Amino acid sequence: MKIDPEKAKKRKNTKPFEVVKQGSISIPIYAHTNVIPQRNPQTGTILYETQPSGATSKPKALVKYASVIYTVAYYQGTKRIRQKFSDIQKARREAGLIAIKLANGESEALKLTGADRADYIRAIQKLRAWKTGVDLNLAVTDYVTAVRRLPEYVSLSDVLEYYLKRHPIGLPKKTIREVVDELIASKSNAGKSDVYIKDLTLRLGAFANSFNIPISTVSGKQIEEYIRALKTIGSDESQRRSLAGRTQNNIRRLIGTLFKFAIKRGYLPKDHDEIEGVEKATVDSSEIEVFSPDELKKLFDACLKPVKERGKWRTREEMIPYLAIAAFCGLRAAEIMRLDWSEIHLTGNERFVEIKAGNAKTASRRTVPITDNCAAWLEKYSLTSGPVINLSRADKQLFLYLAEKSGVPWKHNGLRHSFISYRLALIKDVGQVSLEAGNSPGMVFKHYRQLVRESEAQAWFSIVPPKREKGATFTATTSFKAAANTKIEVASTGSKLQF
């Protein structure tokens, strides 16, 4: 191929209109005039200037439009690339972008086709319409990272739908503490028992203290870990142990009540089921422990034995009705706390305790016979009406004070378990015991049959208050039962009590 020397010389002497530099990279911008000739409207042929006769030069075309064209030229590998612009500012921006990318080694970005650039522009527009200032690279990186973590058959849209279903837009952001307070207020206004309200306050209050977060964000896994980590109450850390399975399940039930309340109030979606993901604890017969008759005597003695606390002598005699009813009638702790003296019938042909439906765990009324020894313990404390127990947590008095003072290891629900076991061994009637205890016959037969001997049962129901002579003096280790409202006076020796 021959090269015209004149054209080659002209091209060699052509200089850039401007050069854009970035580091060691220089991008030239060339300028030339682009001429649009006039054409015959009918034929479309180019129109030329009229020349004088005899002229030998080539005629010039008539100019319709003339504009300056700026060409940005650079090499991509061995290929020379030219981009043309009618605006010098656009040419400069493009030259600057090319220089930066070449300087950073991002020559791949220079290979974008027109379609690629259109995709880029549309992506940027959508991104900016959502939130200004978001980096496209970071957005794509987050998308790819999220999709890679999903199974092939799950899309990011599926995940989004699942999240919005569990956390619908527009739900009030209520913390667990706020919902607990609302639940307690609602139950109080509904006339629920004081014992139930205190149970909610204690157990759900502790739950709220552990999770200072919106209720919609707590997961079933977090709830299960919380319940499993709970320990029994006690001053000696080394003796504290995990809660019994039944107690864990009771706490799980209360937390479930909290979630149901939140759903009703519109704080959680209707299909919220995180509590279903909390595994129920195992409850087996190994948790059934009973007190021996000798251990029960020691607990009664601890109620009656005066001790000096904060410079004053006192007893735990107010616990005797609780202890007697739990041991000889088998009522649950919550049932005893709701009990009124008007529901304890000590006179007439039949002596019995009436557990009304509203006070029973099973929400059904039942009666329990009062044995002779139980009547003997209760007779001096009996009133016409009024709460049998005026303590907020009498059950804690048992395992935090009486058990420690008496030296008897506390057994969870031990008094109730003891009553059912000894009662069944004594009367040998599963149906009757199940009616008295408020349990199913199957439960009584499975867990309490042959747990104790009949001779032990007879000893259990023969435990009566100690007798004493009027005006007798007792040492601090002697068990006694003082009449109601008897004034205690400390003898000068400090080791004996005079009544």
Angle between helix axes 430-437 and 441-448 (nearest 10 degrees) is 110
- Coil vs helix vs strand at 21: strand
pLDDT for residue 168: 61
d(Cα 280, Cα 277) in Å, to the nearest integer?
A: 9
d(Cα 347, Cα 349) in Å, to the nearest integer?
A: 7
Query: Quick one: which of 36, 19, 37 has its CA closest to 28?
Result: 19
pLDDT for residue 98: 86
Query: Which domains, and CATH codes, for the chain?
Result: 16-48+59-111 (no CATH), 176-283 (1.10.150.130), 293-498 (1.10.443)
For residue 419, give the amino acid letter. Answer: F
**In DSSP terms, which residues pair with 70 in a beta bridge?**
31, 85
CB 278 within 8 A of CB 220: yes
pLDDT for residue 109: 62
pLDDT digits (tens, 9 = 90+) for 294-352: 999 999 999 988 888 778 888 888 999 999 999 999 999 889 988 999 999 998 888 99
pLDDT for residue 119: 83
Look up residue 235 and give its DSSP letter: S
**Distances 45 to 39, 40, 42, 51, 104 between C-alpha atoms, Å:** 5, 5, 8, 18, 50
**In DSSP terms, which residues pair with 355 in a beta bridge?**
366
Residues in the chain: 499
Q: What is the pLDDT along the chain (499 residues), one digit of tens a residue?
A: 344 544 444 444 578 888 988 877 888 999 888 888 888 888 888 888 777 777 777 778 887 878 888 999 988 766 788 899 988 999 999 998 888 887 776 656 666 677 877 888 888 888 888 888 777 878 888 888 888 888 888 888 888 777 766 666 667 889 999 999 999 999 999 988 777 888 899 999 999 999 989 998 899 999 999 999 998 775 556 667 788 888 899 999 999 999 999 999 988 888 888 898 899 988 765 568 899 999 999 999 999 888 887 788 888 889 999 999 999 999 998 899 889 999 999 988 889 999 987 776 666 789 999 999 999 999 989 999 999 988 877 777 787 788 888 889 888 888 999 999 999 999 999 999 999 998 888 888 877 876 789 999 999 999 999 875 554 433 333 333 333 333 333 333 333 333 2
